[in-house]
Structure 1
Amino acid sequence: MEQRDRILRQEGYTFPGKTYTEVVLEPAYNEAKTQLLKPMMMINKAHLIMLTEQGLMSAKDGEMLGKALRELDMEEIRNSRYSGQVEDLFFQVERELIQAAGDCAGNLHIGRSRNDMCITMFRLALREKVQKTLGSMLFLKEQLLEFSGKHADTLMIGYTHTQQAQPTTLGHYMLAVVDSVSRDVERFRQAYEQCNHSPMGAAAFTTSGFKLNRKRMAELLSFDGVVENSYDAIAGADYIAEVMTTAQITAISLGRFVQDLLLWSMQEFSLLKVADPYVQISSIMPQKRNPVSLEHIRSLLSTCVGNTQTVLTMIHNTPFGDIVDTEDDMQPYAWRSLDLLDQLCRLLGCVIGTAEVNKKVLRERAEASFATITELADTLVRTDVPSFRKAHEITSLVVSEALALGMGAQEITLNLVNKAAEKVIGRSLKLDEEGLRQSLDPNHFVRVRSLPGGPNIDEVRRMITERLERHTGHQGWLKLITEKTENAYRQLDSILAD
């Protein structure tokens, strides 16, 4: 009992306890007033309109309460500190409305609960952040597409297992990144559509005996529809899990791309030069030009992945119902992950859009490498070698012998190839000098790979044109949904003013 009394003397004898306030209530209040005040007010206005239309609140009370809602000092609330006089932001706003409009403000809670209201606020906040993130992703994609167009014919070596593999073009590589980002955009689009449904009217989880209009609430809040099953409306957390999974995939994919950019920025690669605004110097080494913007992007993308994983972990193995694990404690990690992804996409787009490429070094490296040897094997099959496996064996011997003699790919002779052929198939080849030189030319290698999706310049340009059309479609969709939600905010005030 002595220990209990000692703790209570320190913590207080009534709600809220000092440590409970410090650990839970005050941080939740601060997050809510920053992230949820706008969605909360939107719900309050929409609910008032619906109640009045349904005859559940008199026109006189609706007018008085509408005036109080419109005149509520939002900036004062945002600057307020948690006092402990009320439990959370919801009750703080309700108290101020009652002070402004009288007892009729208490009827604003007819047919609703903090349960359906909170989940709706979370969905409204999430969809706004998804819209913002998508805008930055489309900016990044636009920079990548422009970069691809500039370097559709920029010859380079492609790598597999971190080793020189085959010639390609920088434009071809970048288009692969474009397509990866495009899939991320599509995943966000689908996740957005799942998120953009209204739980309002579910109340605690069983709906209400009042004649509410759930569809009207969804319409006023610019949702695409209603989460029909009222228990699902409160219990379901897959709306946020889907957004977080998509953000996680996006961050992981971009991190892999950024790792390549960092390698390419090394003097040993000499491929990429990051522009001065995104480079820092060494405090001791005067020659250093550190592309740390890319390092920060890579590091913070990992932070983004961590935040999304925190959300998914907090949902895991929780009861399928109203539970704080999926609410106030978890939501900030989702907001931070999307805010961070938004910022990093914008920064990466700026770095890509201003970077310089060393075309000369890339071309010389491609011409000096053995990356074209696959085409020599293909050429042998086209001429007179009975199978690709035999052609592969011949060219493998050619490479081994050339390396032993200290020869580069362009120095390979017809005599060397014929000696290898005699060992494998017992005779010389029909291949002539012109055919040999052509098969070892990286430009030829790229040119003949004109199948759909290949690095041939005409094929790359075709893909760019197609991707630009798709990009325009994504931009149009984002503009449409953004304008729709922004108009909904304005329309609520307009209806209340009338």
Structure 2
Amino acid sequence: MTAGTYKDTSAFPDPVYKETVLRPLFDGAKDHHIEGFRLIDRAHLVMLHETGILTIEQARPIAQALEAIDREVDVSTLTYTGEVEDFFFLIEKELRKRLGPDLAGRLHTARSRNDIDHTLFKLGLKDRIDPLLERLVRLAETLASVAERESNTLIVAYTHGQPAQPTVFGHYLSAVLETLLRDIARLEAARDIVDRSPMGAAAITTSGFPIDRDRMARLLGFSRPLQNSYGCIASIDYITSTYSAIQLIFLHLGRFIQDLQFWTSFEVGQIYVPNAFVQISSIMPQKRNPVPIEHMRHLASQTAGRAQAMLTIMHNTPFTDMNDSEGESQGFGYGAFESGARVLDLLAALVPALRINPDRVRQNIRRSCITVTELADSLVRLEGLSFREAHEIAAEVSRSVVAVEGDIAADGYEVFQGAFERCTNRQTGIDKAQFAKIVSPENFVAVRDRFGGPAPGALSQAIEGYNQEISAIRNRMQETAQRARTSAQDLQSRFAALLGGR
């Protein structure tokens, strides 16, 4: 049978399609995008009137009908029936009920569900990125404050899972903070892409009507319109840039959280977690389990995984408007913001409560002989040796001290004297007191006063710079928030004027 002779007696929507696709999409729009729909309708109506596309006689009753719908329709009680395709058509149906098809249909002049949808999704992302940025900046401020507090607190730094060198906790936290600030910059850059309005692109190619895309963007609180109209409905880099940034944030924080897990273990024990963040075993009364760290770790992984899933969903999709990037995908992605917020809140509460166990740090420094690098460096500076010669002497000292489970300052000098003479055929000019100072962890940190190092001067300068960077981020966030408030007030006043002062 040919298509021309086939008689299609089916009615939209198919019951299975209704339950598997249309109802979830309707519920997603109802849960996430109602306020966005409301703003877009009002802003578009204001713009149509300001450009002369609609007269006041046309615009005013539409405004009044929109206000009546807001007042009379309780969206939370709505159930999808299949009478209309989606939430957009539900609003149009309500307008037609109040205004008739001719006047109601004029609101849709020069726009499409294509540009409406991507504008909705961008509004939804901005509403989630901004609170996430607030939490990230709060964590950055916390890390800077604790880094300053712990700027003289010795810890063991590890490489390859083994004790490597002494540093201070403030230096370690500053490294975490510095990475976080770069992550914040990536999310700010993503937000700038999100902050470009698609409205006015219509289906693909804009419109023959004299619309004002810049005005529409400003009314909705965007910084500017996205220029190319095809890109407005096809270039989903606002999604990929946002979730790429989120994935990196929680991948990087997960590494920090893993260190906290390792450093709180009984065998390492250089971090003490206070009782408020410790759960006990149901059967082993001696155990102190820092369970919040585990929750942060798996929540960070869930967040990174959800973000990665969003990138996978976008992979190999056509460069056009398509459902892959729309309602259900957007709703799925919002889960990354929810789990990520939990990680950031918990981390910002935990970090200030952490304390370094100085006795365990001293014990681990002594047992691992990790200050011996400075002995090699000092031999180069004080005795004029090559670093390779100095390294061989320092290696012999550390092997001997570790073998007897000794302390390098108390037990290493005689071994050092012998190793130095065998290597150089002369006696060292370094006496026992000077040797003990050279291999002390305090000296190890103090002499590393280079840019980016852990010594007090270098670390203080770094923290000051971080605080300035955080302050600049805060200022940008405040400017963005003020622009949004100004836009909202402008839209409210312009819409009220259309209502006729009601």
TM-score range, shorter chain: over 0.9
How big is the shift at 1:64? 1.6
Moved more, 362-371 or 51-60: 362-371
Cα distance 1:120–1:423, how it changes in 2: closer, same or farther (>3 A)?
Answer: same
Structure-2 separation of matches of 1:276 and 1:98? 62
Which residue in 1 is equivalent to 2:170? Answer: 171
Cα distance 1:189–1:135, how it changes in 2: closer, same or farther (>3 A)?
Answer: same
Moved more, 385-394 or 486-495: 486-495
Moved more, 459-468 or 129-138: 459-468
Moved more, 252-261 or 348-357: 348-357
Q: What SS does structure 1 have at the residue aligned with 2:165?
A: strand
Cα distance 1:85–1:287, how it changes in 2: closer, same or farther (>3 A)?
Answer: farther
Q: Provide the aligned C-alpha RMSD in A.
A: 2.0
Length-normalised TM-score, structure 1: 0.93
Matches within 5 A, 1:101-250: 101-103=99-101, 104-250=103-249
Which residue in 1 is equivalent to 2:29? Answer: 32
Matches within 5 A, 1:487-498: 487-498=486-497
Structure-2 separation of matches of 1:60 and 1:163? 77
Moved more, 420-429 or 474-483: 420-429
Amino acid of the residue matched to residue 343 of structure 2?
L
Cα distance 1:356–1:399, how it changes in 2: closer, same or farther (>3 A)?
Answer: closer
Moved more, 340-349 or 190-199: 340-349
Amino acid of the residue matched to residue 460 of structure 1?
L
1:87 aligned to 2:80? no
Structure-2 separation of matches of 1:401 and 1:385? 24
8 Å contact 2:397–2:412 — kept in the other structure?
A: no
Q: What SS does structure 1 have at the residue aligned with 2:156?
A: strand
8 Å contact 1:159–1:165 — kept in the other structure?
A: yes
Q: What SS does structure 2 have at the residue aligned with 1:322?
A: coil
How big is the shift at 1:358? 2.3
8 Å contact 2:217–2:225 — kept in the other structure?
A: yes
Which residue in 2 is equivalent to 1:349? Answer: 348
1:64-116 CA distance string (max 9 Å, x none): 22122234337711332221111111111222233234432221110100001
Which residue in 2 is equivalent to 1:43? Answer: 40
Which residue in 2 is equivalent to 1:55? Answer: 52
Q: What SS does structure 1 have at the residue aligned with 2:289?
A: coil
1:439-469 CA distance string (max 9 Å, x none): 1110011001000111002221222222112
How big is the shift at 1:475? 1.4
1:280-320 CA distance string (max 9 Å, x none): 33332333332222211110111111111111111111111
Structure-2 separation of matches of 1:386 and 1:273? 41
Length-normalised TM-score, structure 2: 0.93
8 Å contact 1:136–1:343 — kept in the other structure?
A: no
1:291 aligned to 2:293? no
Amino acid of the residue matched to residue 59 of structure 2?
G
**5+ residue gaps in structure 2?**
2-7, 498-502
1:4-50 CA distance string (max 9 Å, x none): xxxx9xxx942222222222222221121111111111111110000
Which residue in 2 is equivalent to 1:471? Answer: 470
1:251 aligned to 2:227? no
8 Å contact 1:63–1:496 — kept in the other structure?
A: no
Which residue in 2 is equivalent to 1:76? Answer: 74
Amino acid of the residue matched to residue 32 of structure 2?
Q
Q: Matched residues, percent identical?
A: 36
Which residue in 1 is equivalent to 2:378? Answer: 379
How big is the shift at 1:367? 4.7
Moved more, 26-35 or 441-450: 26-35
8 Å contact 1:137–1:346 — kept in the other structure?
A: no
**5+ residue gaps in structure 1?**
2-7
1:337-391 CA distance string (max 9 Å, x none): 1232223211211111333332343244335541100000011111224300111
Matches within 5 A, 1:266-415: 266-415=265-414
Cα distance 1:432–1:298, how it changes in 2: closer, same or farther (>3 A)?
Answer: same
Structure-2 separation of matches of 1:16 and 1:273? 61
Q: What SS does structure 2 have at the residue aligned with 1:164?
A: strand
Structure-1 separation of matches of 2:377 and 2:129? 48
Which residue in 2 is equivalent to 1:4? Answer: none
Which residue in 2 is equivalent to 1:20? Answer: 17
Structure-1 separation of matches of 2:296 and 2:98? 48
8 Å contact 1:454–1:460 — kept in the other structure?
A: yes
